[in-house]
Structure 1
Amino acid sequence: MERSRIVVAGASGVIGGALVRSLVADGHEVVRLVRRDPRGADEVRWDPESGRVAASSLAGCDAVVNLAGAGIGDHRWTEAYKARILGSRVGGTTALAEALAALEPAVRPRIFLNGSAIGYYGDTGARSVDESAPAGEGFLPSVCVAWEAAAAPAREAGVRTVFARTGLVVSRAGGAWGRLFPLFRAGLGGRLGDGSQYWSFVALHDEVAALRHLLDREDLSGAFNLTAPHPVTNREVTTAMGRVLRRPTPFPVPAPVLRAVLGDLAADVLGSARVLPARLQESGFRFAFPDIDGAIRAAM
């Protein structure tokens, strides 16, 4: 992509922050959508949960990237927090998609790159799935289906719309791995449940590179799995973390304990998602860290 003006929602998150740094380093102009009062000309206020964003803030931009949403693992899944997980994604996506559709074609961004997640597929057990698989059943699949459907106004207006179905991002800065690194460094890490569940991971470096790839390629639209090509079980993750960090991994956490502590969130932790990046690889994308050991080392 030539030097562009790109709007990013969710720029304060792990992925959004890394993407913004990458774009700015390459000379792109980034406008951040924020939920507080703007602190500079490169920030615009919006309210994703109530669906308010000024269409004029998107006019003349080349791309809109939406990575905003309440953290999946930040809180116990009460009914209120599940409503927030859903509302923050659907409300924000709807607001942006409708704002894009309202703009005149001459000033309308060409690309709407919207976040999604491999939670779309639900628990796949040991069965491998790619983008051709249908949505699964349960809370997270229903969130992802509604999240992606909310982008319809932009797509119907002719904006190239892409969904980044992201896996578990290997990063010390947040998410599942943000919690794992301190535990394993302290020698307190261990498998979760029986460890047979698949974790479809992606190095943060590859996540950002894939997002940039999807932005650059004008011929790509629809859903793409942003996961490394070699999913591993939680038991294999535990072994790799111990190997790379050179720490013992003696403390497995039994499934009943996880359910007692995490409530409904435990189903996501103990669930298995063996997800492959078929469309991403078919488009020519190459992973810098396709294997778990490399992804962990890249995050250190």
Structure 2
Amino acid sequence: MDDARRSRERSRVAVAGASGLIGGALVRSLTADGHEVVRLVRHRPRSADEVRWDPEAGRVDTAGLTGCDAVVNLAGAGVGDHRWTDDYKTRIRSSRVHGTTALAEAVASMEQPPRVFLNGSAIGFYGETGDHPVDEEAPAGEGFLPSVCQEWEAAAAPARHAGVRTVFARTGLVVARGGGAWGRLFPLFRAGLGGRLGDGSQYWSFVSLHDEVAALRHLLDRADLSGPFNLTAPRPVTNREVTVAMGRVLHRPTPFAVPAPVLRVVLGEMAGDVLGSARVLPARLLESGFRFAFPEIDGAIRAALLGGGAGAGRGGETA
């Protein structure tokens, strides 16, 4: 679909997780292009653009979704927000699985359902891959995050069985100042306290916030795309390369290194995610014609510093 045709077509899109890093950027992008966005909220709606839902109870106000061309689910407790206690691991899993189940069942129950259900997921699906590159053809890994991702995606089955085009956005580490891993890294590196984690050999499959939003828009627009898509830049980099790039772009020294044993003491089980290596490639996204605006780590870091992605439009898209 060309840009001229897109500009004439205005859609109504429902977004769960609209207050998050990615959801907020997606909402700003859609709104800037003239699309109507409704936000799923847990409180009583305060405006016409809010629709109430209770993911834990499995309740969604389907009347508020009437006329939506797409439903996007990006809701879920932050993986890196807290130490992984048993209670918080339960919250990570339930917030994703219950929310997806509620929305998928709501979509499936509608007399006129949306054309597409775009559900969040993560490259945690693949688990530890070492230096071995994987794409969407690879099987799920083992451990907590892979099991969460499998349940998360499986929960969308009601929408898919109802004939709604269902897409899974397996997102990597988003390079942005406003949250996620990089939201914590930027202050450290600016202060000259940044450094590699462990031996730095682990691969980080990153994506700029700008390209993340552009890819989501691409997946929403393309009626021929369904199933899982890795939202990661084409060339994953090691943590050591990230450290060097951060120092180079910010003009700061990077003398420090946090030993793996220290990370395990401080972070507990979550240290496995920080020290683990996931070399994930966006094979299906590239095959679909998507082009990254920031395929290299230096450019992604610079874009984040300039605020790139906060209102990202279609910058990376050619299809």
Same-fold status (TM-score > 0.5)? yes
Q: For 2:95, give the aligned amino acid.
A: S
Q: For 1:202, give the aligned amino acid.
A: V
Are residue 253 (structure 1) and residue 258 (structure 2) matched?
A: yes
- CA distance in 2 between counterparts of 1:64 and 1:250 reads 45
- CA distance in 1 between counterparts of 2:247 and 2:57 reads 44
- CA distance in 1 between counterparts of 2:66 and 2:107 reads 8
Partner secondary structure for residue 191 of structure 1 = strand
Specify the alignment match of 2:39 in structure 1: 32
Specify the alignment match of 1:230 in structure 2: 235
Alpha-carbon shift at residue 57 of structure 1 (Å): 2.0
- State how many pairs are aligned: 298
Specify the alignment match of 1:6 in structure 2: 13
Alpha-carbon shift at residue 44 of structure 1 (Å): 1.3
Alpha-carbon shift at residue 37 of structure 1 (Å): 2.6
Q: For 1:151, give the aligned amino acid.
A: A
Are residue 69 (structure 1) and residue 49 (structure 2) matched?
A: no
- CA distance in 1 between counterparts of 2:53 and 2:221 reads 26
Specify the alignment match of 1:89 in structure 2: 96
Are residue 205 (structure 1) and residue 210 (structure 2) matched?
A: yes
Are residue 173 (structure 1) and residue 166 (structure 2) matched?
A: no
Alpha-carbon shift at residue 8 of structure 1 (Å): 0.2
1:126 to 126, 131, 134: 131
- CA distance in 2 between counterparts of 1:68 and 1:218 reads 23
Percent sequence identity over matched residues? 83
- CA distance in 1 between counterparts of 2:213 and 2:165 reads 19
Specify the alignment match of 1:185 in structure 2: 190
Alpha-carbon shift at residue 196 of structure 1 (Å): 0.3
- Structure 2's unaligned 5+ residue stretches are 1-5, 306-319
1:145 to 150, 156, 166: 150
Alpha-carbon shift at residue 47 of structure 1 (Å): 1.4
Q: For 2:12, give the aligned amino acid.
A: R
Alpha-carbon shift at residue 39 of structure 1 (Å): 2.1
Specify the alignment match of 2:226 in structure 1: 221
2:165 to 148, 160, 166: 160
- CA distance in 1 between counterparts of 2:250 and 2:59 reads 45
Alpha-carbon shift at residue 55 of structure 1 (Å): 2.0
Alpha-carbon shift at residue 129 of structure 1 (Å): 0.1
Alpha-carbon shift at residue 29 of structure 1 (Å): 0.2
- CA distance in 2 between counterparts of 1:188 and 1:48 reads 40
- CA distance in 2 between counterparts of 1:138 and 1:94 reads 22
**Is the 2:56–2:98 Cα contact (8 Å) retained in structure 1?**
yes
Specify the alignment match of 1:18 in structure 2: 25
- CA distance in 1 between counterparts of 2:55 and 2:262 reads 35
Partner secondary structure for residue 207 of structure 2 = strand
Q: For 2:222, give the aligned amino acid.
A: R
> Normalized against structure 1, the TM-score is what?
0.98
- CA distance in 2 between counterparts of 1:235 and 1:50 reads 44
Alpha-carbon shift at residue 251 of structure 1 (Å): 1.2
- CA distance in 2 between counterparts of 1:194 and 1:146 reads 32
**Is the 2:51–2:65 Cα contact (8 Å) retained in structure 1?**
no
Specify the alignment match of 1:135 in structure 2: 140
Q: What per-residue deviation string (whole Å, max 9, x for no partner) do you get for residues 161-208 of structure 1?
A: 000000000000000000000000000000000000000000000000
Partner secondary structure for residue 277 of structure 2 = coil
Partner secondary structure for residue 273 of structure 1 = coil
**Is the 2:128–2:278 Cα contact (8 Å) retained in structure 1?**
yes
Cα RMSD for the two superposed structures = 0.7
Runs of 4+ in 1 over 6 A off after TM superposition: none
- CA distance in 1 between counterparts of 2:185 and 2:50 reads 33
2:50 to 43, 46, 71: 43
Alpha-carbon shift at residue 48 of structure 1 (Å): 1.5
Alpha-carbon shift at residue 110 of structure 1 (Å): 0.6
Alpha-carbon shift at residue 45 of structure 1 (Å): 1.7
